[in-house]
Amino acid sequence: MEINHFCLFFDNFAPMAGLYLHIPFCESRCYYCDFYSSTFKGNRDLLLSSIQKELRERRQYIKEPVRTIYFGGGTPSQLTTEEISSLLQTIFDNYDCRVEELTLEANPEDLAADYLQALKSLGVNRLSIGVQSFDDEDLKRINRRHTAQKAIEAVQLAQQIGFDNISIDLIYGLPQQTLMGWKKNIQQTIDLNVQHISAYSLTFEEGTMLTKMRDRGEIMEADEELSFEMFKLLRQTLSENGYVPYEISNFALPGYESKHNSSYWNYVPYLGVGPSAHSFDGQSRRWNIANSRLYISKMADGDTYYNMEMLDNFTRYNEYVMTGLRKKEGVDIAVLETLFGKDLRDYFLRMIDAYIKEEKVIKEGQHYYFSEDGIFISDYIIEELFWME
Ligand code: SF4
């Protein structure tokens, strides 16, 4: 019964899928990062051939044509263009591809003119450049390997070469970052005329260097109120300059919303290959082992290299509410009912009612989304709406 609900949803709304490749190479480790990646280069060829093998073996995982391809990491711009070409060829040979968006995450240091030209001729039509800050002191404190000037030059060079869909990543709430420093970052971003911005508040993840430094008293976590002011300034300034906050942390000029990331938020199936990559088929989630050496050996031996969780109706409801409310258009109650049934629909309406009365949530037709006030306490409200057993 539930499977039929999902088929109905996909048939009517999103009969396309996304493909994610996790490229776990990094030249150095940033102090805040807890993504799986390694600076060890010894097993590079074996790792890439294991990813190719996974691509071939899992071609039945997604039934829908591939609409988006996303090279993430790690640092995919550490790949040579020959390696990227070979991975793409494997995808084109094994999947029904109707690719509209082909994104590559890149470090500014890697974006030389000939490399950018080659990426363009391979069909890469969207670059996601990891800038994080346009302040050299911020960059040093988090161990980024580029400078602010290098980031500016990389964006401008990509634009000269003809990339017209560029996203940059920023982080706010960095140690010692001031509101004025953050304001300059936002202005620099606007001045560069990029089409898309992802901006996240710094989080101190377990095991990262930054968390160790905080625990040793070497750095201070940003004051919560300051982070909140930074978020407010970000939303306000970007909105005034034509960027639509189509998701809480993502801003785009109209027409430049990330199709690939929107798939995650719209609950569309996706296949992720490579160490630590996640996949979703509408019913279950799979995540690959976050260890290149084990990933390679298990792939070679035909052993299981992933964990899997079947998602029950309540878990899927919670995920859907969380990702739905983070989007500008919010949760569509008709879709929610189609996916999860009348009982969870009634539960959602009962729980959200108080926030509508407080004007934290707006109801417009069948859509429920955060008001400008509500957005600032979105995490709290989302949790309140979760189904708790
Ligand atoms: S943030 Fe990106 S470049 Fe830095 S360590 Fe993490 S994956 Fe590597």
53: domain CATH number is 3.80.30.20
Residue 4 lies in a domain: no
Task: Tell whether ligand 1 has an atom less than 6 A from the beta carbon of residue 29.
Answer: yes
Does 23 lie in the same domain as 114? yes
pLDDT, position 15: 62
Does 85 lie in the same domain as 197? yes
Compute, in angstroms, the gap from residue 96 CA to the centroid of ligand 1: 31
Q: pLDDT for 132-173, tens place per residue?
A: 999 999 999 999 999 999 999 999 999 999 999 999 999 999
For the residues 58-85, what does the mean pLDDT come to?
96
Q: pLDDT for 254-304, tens place per residue?
A: 999 999 999 888 888 999 999 999 999 988 999 999 999 999 999 999 999
Residue 343 lies in a domain: yes
Does 163 lie in the same domain as 23? yes
Residue 142 lies in a domain: yes
Measured from the CA of 29, which atom of ligand 1 is nearest?
Answer: 5
- E strands present in 202-299: 244-247, 250-252, 270-273, 278-280, 284-288
Ligand 1 atom 5, closest CA: 29
Task: Tell whether ligand 1 has an atom less than 6 A from the beta carbon of residue 26.
Answer: yes
Does 148 lie in the same domain as 38? yes
Ligand 1 atom 2, closest CA: 74
Number of domains in the chain: 2
Residue 307 lies in a domain: no
Residue 301 lies in a domain: no
Q: Which residues contact 24 (CB under 8 A, 6 or more apart)?
A: 36, 37, 38, 47, 73, 74, 274, 275, 276, 292
Residue 39 lies in a domain: yes
pLDDT, position 117: 98
Task: Please report which confidence band the pLDDT of residue 105 belongs to, taking 50, 70 and 90 as the band edges.
Answer: very high
pLDDT at residue 9 greater than cutoff 90: no
**Count of C-beta atoms within a 10 Å radius of residue 1:** 6
pLDDT, position 5: 39
Task: Please report which confidence band the pLDDT of residue 322 belongs to, taking 50, 70 and 90 as the band edges.
Answer: very high
Average pLDDT across the chain, whole number: 94
Ligand 1 pocket check: which of 34, 75, 138, 209 to mutate, most ligand atoms within 8 Å of Cβ? 75
Residue 90 lies in a domain: yes
Does 213 lie in the same domain as 357? no
Residue 360 lies in a domain: yes
Compute, in angstroms, the gap from residue 204 CA to the centroid of ligand 1: 14
pLDDT at residue 181 greater than cutoff 80: yes
Does 252 lie in the same domain as 148? yes
| Domain housing 321 | 314-385
% of the chain with per-residue pLDDT over 70:
96
Considering only 2-6, 68-72, 170-174, 301-305, which range has the smallest mean pLDDT? 2-6
378: domain CATH number is 1.10.10.920
Structure tokens at 156: 């401008």
Does 240 lie in the same domain as 362? no
State the pTM of this model: 0.94
